[in-house]
Amino acid sequence: MERSRSVVLFIVDGLRPDGLEQAHTPHIDSILSTGACTFRAETTMPTITLPCMASMFLGTGPERHGITTNTWTPKPHRFPA
């Protein structure tokens, strides 16, 4: 059987790990038991959705990527069109 190179990332905004551990969630439990997961990940400050997601995908904190609110402001392109 060929191994897949695809990754599916499930992000549930505002879901605390202790709440997930206490809740009856058979479908999520099935996904957790067959995939990779962590209940010890930490977010960045401020704990606001857009800065946290940007930090997760860019691998750096708000002090570097500059996203500090949930208001999206596109940055100018650094490269010529």
Give the residues of the chain that fall short of pLDDT 70. 79-81
Given 3-state DSSP classes, what are the helix, strand and coil percentages for the chain, each rounded to the nearest 5? Answer: 35, 0, 65
Q: Do residues 54 and 67 make contact, with C-beta atoms less than 8 angstroms apart?
A: yes
**Global confidence as pTM:** 0.67
